[in-house]
Each structure stands twice: as C-alpha cells, then as structure tokens.
C-alpha cells in the first residue's frame, strides 16, 4: 500500500478510507491485466484460430463499445446491488469473459465473450471513478486517481510480460484461462469485502441530468471523441503510413506504460497545485499540436514522440472528474459517473467508421478534425470553475452557468 501511495501523506488517508483504497488498488490492477491480456491476444487469436476477416474484426470492435453506451443502466442496478459489490462483480465478469474466450473458437462465441468482458470492464471503470469521488476528499481524489492510473500503467506492462511468458509454454485456450482465472479470483475477493463506512453521502438511485453539469457533459463528450481518434487512427498512422513493425509497436507500448507509471502520479499533485482549468488547458493545447504533427509531419521519430505525448495528455482528463466532484451535489456522483461514461462512448459508435471513410480520402483529415476538437475543448475549458472555500457546492453549481471565463491561472480556491 505504501508503494502505491508513494509520497502521498498517510495522514491524508483516514483509517476508515484505507479499506476502500486497498479495494480499488487490487480491483484496478486485476481489471487492467484482464483487459490488456484480452487485447494483446485478440488479433492473433482472431486471425490464426477463428480465421476472421477484417470486416468481422471491425464488427467485434464496434460491439465491444456498446456496453460503454449502456453504462447508464448502472443507476438502476444500484437499486438492488451496493456499489462496491457491483464493482467487484464487474471485475469478476471481466475475468469470466476473458477466461472463456478461447473455449469455442467461433465468430459468434467471440462476439459473446467480447460483450461479457466489455460489460465487466466498463462497469468497473464507472464504479471505480464513482467510489473514488465519494470516499476521498477533493484534495485527495486527484492523488488517488493519479496513483491508480500509474498502477494501471505498470499492470499493463505486467500483462504483456505474462502473455509473453505464457506464450512460450501454452496455447491460446490456456493463456486466456490463466488470465481470466486471475481476474475472476480478484473479483470474488472483492465480493467478500466491505470497504465502506458510514460517513459517505447516500447516492440518489435515479437518472440525473442537470443543466449546471452541462460543462462536465460537454468536456466528457469531447474527451471521448478525442480518445477514439487516438486509439484508432494514431496506431493506424504508425503502422500504415510510417511502417512500424510489431517489435516497434511493442517497444512503444512498453515505453508508454513506463512513462505513464512515472508521470501519472504527478498529475493529481499538479491539479491540486494549479487547478483543473489550467491542467485541462495544457491538455487541449497539447492535443492541438499533437494532431497537427500527426497530420503533417514526415518524420517517423517525431510522430512516435507525439504518440507518447498524446498518451500522457490523455491522462490529464482526470481533471474533468475532479472538477465535477467540486461543483456537484455529493449525492449525484454515482448517477452522474454512469451518465458521463455513456456520454464518453457516444463517439465510439460512429467516429471510427466516419473517420475511416475520410481516412480513405486523405489520412490527414481525421487528425485535422481532432485538432479542431482540441480547439473547441480548449475554449470550453475556460468555463471550468470550482467553489471558493466556504462556498456551498450546490450554490456554486447554480452560478456556474452564468459566470464568464477569465484568463488562465489558478482556480481562485483561496
């Protein structure tokens, strides 16, 4: 636990919160290993064993995003299941979907297991964010988010090493089973835990959409669109245009996650020091630059460097959630995180196909569009306001819609 916290002041974590932190640490590591293990093996398994064509693989990738759109259903599930139990159950579902993937090597079965795995992953991500915002203060939650992101990065490397070692002695069925059983065991462990305490505000068990949360919704939607361009087209650029080999991509994957492990824990500290608006402004300014370099650079090494910068900048989106924590009614967090997760995935349904159409016309078009999204995000971020100390969250939230942007700088929290 001390290694996860790093230099985080132990006094900042109350004794009753340590159980929740341990709970989130173990389930986050398991969730990351499950997702990365599944993803690393998927393309080779689909091609070599199931013999899928490109169209079938594309359909599976689209189907995988559907559970993200349906995350809003979590609100209704919380009527019958406590949120921490739902988080553990989601990780167990992720492990189950991963473990059974190779049992029946067929197209239909692969769609089914992908949906099961994806429901588990997306539902855990939503409950993980919600629990972090509920159980930790506005000054501590950015640090926790940063540490969990760092843990996710090193867990991704561990998943890669696990697959590499298993690949020398096992077939796809055994590799998927081993990874699935490990993740399922963590989920079952979580189901047996009760990391909650009585000091947390009870959550509203209904769908909540509020006008004063409009900026959160807008930034979340834009973040999801930017993420799709990064995930789909930046990798396509490296492989198709700059002819990166499998070894090149593997090395880049390792470098990305090592850099993420080192830097992610610093993002939370930066949020506390300079505020969400400044961090988000840095992120979106960087996004504009990165996508323009993607579009117009002819240097393989420059594009590779931009890919690493792009991956770092994406982790700055923690500021969107910590901003929401500071302006929201505490009872709205669980519902709003599930709604936000759904909004984040709207772009995943149509953007890859639309971007692919424009890619065939000119590969630069998706990146120029991504740069334009960065400009819109940068403008929107200037309306980010958090309550001054002593101002009630609900009152400040109602004022947020009428306040005008001011020059970049601190958040005026003092």
Q: How far is CA 89 from CA 92, 103, 192, 287, 360, in A?
A: 5, 22, 10, 35, 42
| The pair of three-digit structure tokens given for residue 224, joined into one six-digit string | 């999801």
Inter-residue contact 394 to 321 (CB < 8 Å): no
Q: State the Cα–Cα distance between residues 258 and 260, nearest whole angstrom.
A: 5
- CA-CA distance, 134 to 204, in Å (whole number)? 13
Tokens of 395: 């009152």
Give the pLDDT confidence score for residue 101 in this predicted structure: 93
What one-character DSSP code corresponds to residue 316? G
| Domains of the chain and CATH, by start | 15-200 (1.20.1250.20), 204-414 (1.20.1250.20)
Residue 93, Cβ neighbours under 10 Å: how many?
A: 22
Which residue, among 140, 152, 120, 115, has the nearest Cα to 24 in the 3D structure?
Answer: 152
Among candidate residues 318, 222, 224, the one with its CA nearest the CA of residue 266: 318
How is 177-205 classified by DSSP, letter by letter?
HHHHHHHHHHHHHHHT-----TTSPPPP-
Distance CA 29, CA 18 (A): 17
> Can you list the residues of the chain whose pLDDT is less than 50?
5-6, 10, 390-414
pLDDT at residue number 151: 92
For residue 13, the model assigns a pLDDT of 63
pLDDT of residue 348: 73
DSSP 229-281: IIIIIIHHIIIIIS---HHHHHHHHHHHHHHHHHHHHHHHHHHHHH-HHHHHH
Is residue 207 within 8 Å of residue 58, measured between CB atoms?
A: no
The answer to whether 262 and 151 have CB atoms below 8 angstroms apart is: no
User: How many residues does this entry show for the chain?
Assistant: 414
Binning the chain into helix, strand and coil, the percentages to the nearest 5 are 80, 0, 20
Q: What is the pTM of this model?
A: 0.81
* pLDDT value at residue 127: 93
DSSP-derived letter for residue 403 is P
Cβ neighbours of residue 404 closer than 8 Å, sequence gap 6 or more: none
Residues 6+ apart with CB under 8 A from 296: 364
Rounded distance, CA 143 to CA 138, Å? Answer: 10
Radius of gyration of the chain, Cα coordinates, nearest whole angstrom: 21
């Amino acid at each position: 636990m001390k290694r996860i916290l790093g230099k985080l002041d132990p006094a900042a974590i109350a004794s009753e919160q340590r159980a929740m932190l341990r709970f989130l640490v173990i389930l986050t590591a398991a969730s990351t290993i499950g997702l990365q293990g599944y993803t690393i093996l998927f393309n080779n398994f689909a091609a070599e064993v199931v013999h899928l064509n490109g169209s079938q693989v594309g359909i599976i990738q689209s189907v995988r995003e559907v559970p993200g759109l349906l995350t809003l259903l979590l609100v209704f599930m919380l009527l019958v299941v406590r949120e921490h139990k739902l988080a553990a159950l989601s990780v167990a579902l992720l492990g189950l979907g991963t473990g059974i993937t190779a049992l029946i090597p067929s197209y239909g079965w692969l769609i089914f297991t992908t949906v099961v795995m994806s429901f588990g992953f997306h539902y855990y991500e939503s409950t993980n964010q919600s629990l972090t915002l509920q159980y930790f203060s506005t000054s501590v939650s950015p640090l926790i988010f940063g540490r969990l992101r760092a843990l996710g990065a090193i867990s991704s490397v561990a998943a890669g090493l696990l697959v590499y070692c298993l690949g020398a002695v096992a077939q796809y069925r055994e590799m998927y089973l081993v990874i699935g059983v490990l993740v399922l065991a963590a989920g079952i462990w979580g189901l047996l835990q009760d990391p909650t305490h009585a000091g947390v505000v009870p959550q509203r068990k209904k769908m909540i959409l509020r006008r004063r949360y409009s900026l959160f919704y807008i930034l979340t939607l834009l973040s999801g669109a930017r993420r799709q361009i990064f995930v789909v087209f930046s990798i396509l650029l490296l492989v198709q245009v700059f002819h990166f080999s499998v070894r090149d991509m593997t090395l880049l994957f390792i470098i990305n996650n090592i850099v993420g492990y080192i830097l992610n824990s610093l993002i939370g500290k930066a949020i506390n020091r300079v505020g969400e608006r400044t961090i988000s402004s840095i992120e979106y300014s960087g996004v504009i630059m990165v996508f323009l370099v993607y579009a117009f650079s002819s240097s393989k090494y420059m594009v590779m460097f931009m890919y690493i910068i792009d991956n770092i900048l994406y982790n700055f989106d923690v500021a969107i959630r910590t901003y929401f924590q500071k302006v929201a009614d505490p009872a709205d967090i669980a519902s709003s995180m599930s709604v936000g997760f759904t909004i984040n995935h709207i772009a995943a349904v149509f953007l890859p196909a639309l971007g692919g159409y424009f890619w065939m016309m000119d590969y630069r078009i998706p990146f120029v569009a991504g740069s334009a999204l960065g400009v819109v995000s940068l403008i929107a971020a200037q309306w980010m306001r958090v309550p001054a100390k002593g101002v009630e969250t609900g009152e400040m939230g109602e004022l947020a819609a009428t306040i005008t942007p001011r020059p970049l700088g601190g958040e005026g929290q003092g």
